[in-house]
Amino acid sequence: MTASDGLLELKRCVVFLSDIDQSWHQVLAPLEHQIAFILEKLKNESFLPDEKLIFRALLLPADQVKAIILGQDPYPTPGMAEGLAFSVSETVEVLPPSLRNIFSEYQEDLRLARPTSGDLSQWGKQGVLLLNQILTVAPGRPLSHKDLGWQQVTDAVLAMLSRQGRPIICWGNRAYRAAVRAGFAGDQILASPHPSPLSAYRGFFGSKPFSRTNDYLREQDIEPIDWNLGR
């Protein structure tokens, strides 16, 4: 990458960061060069989600975050990834297996009707940060961008929230390790196996992540989350 190319990517990075809520700028501004480096690597590649959705989770202001659901990386199936961990567009008719299992636990834990759409953006409006550790993926290749450097960026976001005492829902070992690395500890971490069909029956089902999160928030005198997606 030439100096002029680097400058162009840095300017592109600044544009990206200007689109997120300004409350995250103090955390991400020192990482502008890191983000610019990643964007340069992606410039001539196909990746998901769409470029304008990479930082979508960070439209939620930091001071409005009540809890975090930490995902691994975006869905690698074209048409599914939309910048929010585990969420898909309401136009997606066949939901990913992990999301179907999340909805099964949602029904059991909260005694609510099964959602008719996989769009989880309503949770964001309730203060749930739906963040992936890795913000992009190559189509059809899960974890293909695990070595691009996104974790350095998302670790900084998580570290900020851990200091604010927010609870984090960790599904799977990768999420748990990321939470510990960012400084989450004790009751802040609501961990269980991943909702993937390969592991959901090993302890994800019955883990009650939604009600446990609200129990934690009540203990901190914070208004609980309305998880109901049926509105």
Is residue 231 included in any domain, yes or no? no
Is residue 230 included in any domain, yes or no? no
- Catalytic residue from among 5, 73, 187, 221: 73
Is residue 172 included in any domain, yes or no? yes
pTM: 0.93
Is residue 227 included in any domain, yes or no? no
| pLDDT at res. 210 | 98
State the DSSP string of the chain: --HHHHHHHHHHHHHHHHTS-GGGHHHHGGGHHHHHHHHHHHTTS--BS-GGGTTGGGGS-GGG--EEEEESS---STTT--SSTT---TT--S--HHHHHHHHHHHHHH--PPPS----HHHHHTTEEEEESS--BBTTBTTTTTTSSHHHHHHHHHHHHHHTT--EEEESHHHHHHHHHTT--GGGEEEE--SSTTTGGGTTTT--HHHHHHHHHHHTT-PPP------
Is residue 167 included in any domain, yes or no? yes
How would you write the pLDDT of the chain (231 residues) with one tens digit per residue?
554 454 555 555 555 666 789 999 989 989 988 998 999 899 889 999 999 999 999 999 999 999 999 999 999 999 999 999 999 999 999 999 999 999 999 999 999 999 999 999 999 999 999 999 999 999 999 999 999 999 999 999 999 999 999 999 999 999 999 999 999 999 999 999 999 999 999 999 999 999 999 999 999 999 999 999 986
Is residue 197 included in any domain, yes or no? yes
Range of the domain at 113: 3-219
Catalytic: 19? no
Domain count, the chain: 1
CATH number assigned to the domain comprising residue 169: 3.40.470.10
Is residue 183 included in any domain, yes or no? yes
Is residue 212 included in any domain, yes or no? yes
